[in-house]
Amino acid sequence: MISDNEASLIKINNKFRDRNYINHLQISLIWPKLVLYAGIIIFGLLLGVLSSQIYHGYNNSMFDLGNMAQSIWSVFHGRPLEFTINNGQLSRLGLHVELIYLLISPIYAIYPQPPTLLFFQSFLFAIGAIPVYQIAIRNINRPAYALAFVFMYLLYPVAQTAVLFDFHGDTLAMPILLFALNSLEQQRWKAYALFIILALCCKFYVSVPVFFLGLVIIYNNRKGPRVNKIVGILTALVAISWGILTFLFIRPFFSPGEGFTLSSSVSPFGYVTYYFSELINGLVNSSAQRIGVLFLILAPVIWLSCHSLIWLIPAAVTAVPSLLSNGIQYTYLFHHYALAVPFLIYSAVKGVSKLQNKDQALGKISIFYKPEKMIQLSLLMTFILNITIVDTPLNPLFWSRQPGKGIDSLRYGVIPRDRMKDELLSSYNRPDESLAVSWALAPHLTNRHTLYVLDYFDINSRDFNIAIADGLFDYAVPVPGGFTGGVLHDAQYIQALLNRPDYSLLNVQDGLLFFVRDHNSDNLDQTIENDQIGKNAKLLHTYSDLIGAIDATIVQKDNNVYTMKFTWNLVGNLQEIGPVFAITRFRNQLNRQEISNFRVIHIPTEIIYPAIDWKKDETIIETFDIRIPENFPSGTYLLSTVWYIANNIDAYKTDNRSQLGDEWYWGEIKISKK
């Protein structure tokens, strides 16, 4: 017999055991969700911050972030989805038909700056982890496995590179398609229809994977419920109808016509030739690189997806055309593989589900039938490829300061000159003010109707209110055998602007040149002439026995305008080192500290008659005006001049890495403010 006391103790003990079990159960249900939401926040913030750092460091271009920002801004300013491209205005409906931008425009109107789009894209991508988790938990019923797929998705190399490359409709479609697949499994047909429509609105060619999604649904349900087959049929019909409507009718209707830039790519035949006309040459010349990209796309999940190959079909119909496209568009650094990611992840989940069934039915002990081992392998592969390929803090090269990597100013780094640009450009905020600007400046000036990029149109063919060029162009991309961009990138455009009599050079600060139409009274004169003083002239200084300095002066011309005059003599052969350019600095008289963000570029010898074109023993006299900013501190300054080698990727930094010879201190000046 159990005494009453013993019975009471047993009852109390059982109550505590039940409570502990409930607490344990609650914790086991809560912790995966906490990890899921933590992952969303961490990766949303990480990718958003990195994307915006590219922007704040002036490392984006008008293609594509600037175009997207201007077209979305225009929705509330009378010209929906319109942007400037080369020789005129064009609607996004004439290119990729991104109707989704209309829905994003109210968010952009709150804070109409490109970082708004970049953070929106980053967090939308991260939120895609929610349907990934729900799909995985439904198919596999193991929270740990589901979280593994969440981080496979968040770390997927071509997904992250898409998010980090500007702002694009197909990157937005990536998480939306995951929500559609989740709704499909739940048989929430209204939600499924909504997400499919949203995905189709992201870009006209989203209709291709959605069409094949419909075919896969039909095939998988050939013996299944009738409603599922109907859903598959409707999915395929809607997708192909939308694809035909946009490709054959909407895009040509909004095309600006013949003679307009990109008009050839708007027609159906033109689109195909634009992207695939060099198919054979591309395969011959870069087949190894394309195979490498294919490996990067498939390697994280192929071990699992091979057990559910049918779900790779919608991924393949977007990935394969990108792999075969012209030029470098096949590379993983762009956004072209974003649409494949939802189906790659989904096929991997379905593969694990099949593996579980085989494991239970056959009792296999091989690693190829053990789901947990395969998931671990896939997650490990995803992580290794991510930290090897993607430029984030997880990649060791992120911290190496290599040109164009990580914290370097050509990637995510922001330098004081970038802050100076922000300040100078902030005054150009009138929507009706037409600009023509250097391409790295363009994304920061998109809140206007007309915004030309100097690289992409004939400067003499258009009129604009203001032009802004960069004589110390501080963006360069390392490529095999050298780099693209570089300090003299805008030189030819500056030359063209100087040759236009209806434009005046109003100001130059730290290499940024501001031209204004019909403003001749405040023009900063820039002239150059040659003389026959000869090689016997007395040289005050020489730069590596290549360029000799004969004289240098500075005089006040008017209020805050000063005229500098230099006399040079070519004493060596510059052909061996390539183009060079000169910089004059104002230095504190006491400590010789340079006045920041006020390097004076020598426009006559950099642009009008470059030193690389001088003849041996030719004497050059350059005269140019400079304008001292209103906020320039009063004091006495030493003046020094250095020549730099332009063919150095770091030349824009104007430091000892590209310096030609020693610095020449040649004078002083007293600046006083009244």
Phi, psi (deg, nearest 5) at residue 456:
-115, 15
List the alpha helices (DSSP H) in 299-340.
Answer: 302-305, 313-324
DSSP code of residue 594: B
Using alpha carbons, select from 267, 188, 192, 297 the residue that is nearest to residue 234: 192
| Site of tokens 């509330």 | 76
Q: Is the pLDDT of residue 364 over 70?
A: no
Q: Residue 545: left if φ>0, alpha if ψ -120 to 50, beta else—which one? A: left
What CA–CA distance (Å, rounded) separates 546 from 572? 4
26-30, 452-456, 477-481, 661-665 — which is least confidently predicted?
A: 26-30
Q: How much is the pLDDT for 38? A: 98
Which residues does residue 508 pair with via DSSP β-bridges, in sequence order?
513
- 507-526: per-residue pLDDT in tens? 999 999 999 998 777 899 99
Q: Is the pLDDT of residue 365 over 50?
A: no
Using alpha carbons, select from 576, 588, 592, 599 the residue that is nearest to residue 651: 599
Phi, psi (deg, nearest 5) at residue 327:
60, -135
Note the pTM of the prediction, 2 decimals. Answer: 0.92
Query: Strands across the sheet with 466-470, in order?
Result: 451-453, 435-437, 466-470, 512-517, 503-509
289-293: long-range contacts (C-beta < 8 A, 24 or more apart)?
289/330, 289/331, 290/323, 290/324, 290/330, 293/323, 293/330, 293/331, 293/332
Domains of the chain, residue spans: 19-399, 416-522, 526-671
A 10 A CB-CB count for 576 gives 7
Distances (CA, A) of 534 to 147, 461, 618: 77, 42, 7
Sign of CA dihedral 644, 645, 647, 653: negative
SS3 297: helix
Q: How much is the pLDDT for 276? A: 79
Q: How much is the pLDDT for 20? A: 60
Question: What average pLDDT does the segment 28-34 reach?
Answer: 86
- 561-585: per-residue pLDDT in tens? 999 999 999 999 999 999 999 999 9
- 285-307: per-residue pLDDT in tens? 889 999 999 999 999 999 899 99
Provide the token pair at 82. Answer: 């319109």
Strand 580-588 and strand 600-601: pairing? antiparallel
What CA–CA distance (Å, rounded) separates 57 from 70? 19
Distances (CA, A) of 351 to 139, 354, 373, 385: 10, 5, 13, 21
The more confident residue out of 544 and 364 is 544
164-168, 171-175, 221-225, 666-670 — which is least confidently predicted?
A: 221-225
Show Cβ contacts of residue 581 under 8 Å, excluding neighbours closer than 6 positions: 487, 488, 601, 602, 605, 606, 610, 611, 643, 644, 646, 651
Phi, psi (deg, nearest 5) at residue 523:
-65, 135
Q: How much is the pLDDT for 228? A: 95
A 10 A CB-CB count for 30 gives 10
What CA–CA distance (Å, rounded) separates 169 from 165? 12
Q: Is the pLDDT of residue 541 over 60?
A: yes
Q: Is the pLDDT of residue 324 over 50?
A: yes
List the alpha helices (DSSP H) in 246-278.
Answer: 251-253, 268-276
**Mean confidence (pLDDT) of the chain:** 91
Q: How much is the pLDDT for 314? A: 98
The more confident residue out of 630 and 562 is 562
Following DSSP, what letter does each residue of 361-414 receive, concatenated?
A: HH---SGGG-HHHHHHHHHHHHHHHHHHHS-STTSGGGGS--TTSTTSTTTT--
Question: What average pLDDT does the segment 576-600 reach?
Answer: 95
CATH 3.30.300.30 applies to domain 526-671: no
**Distance of alpha carbon 375 from the chain centroid:** 32
Give the HSE-up count for residue 234: Cα atoms under 13 Å, Cβ half-sphere: 13
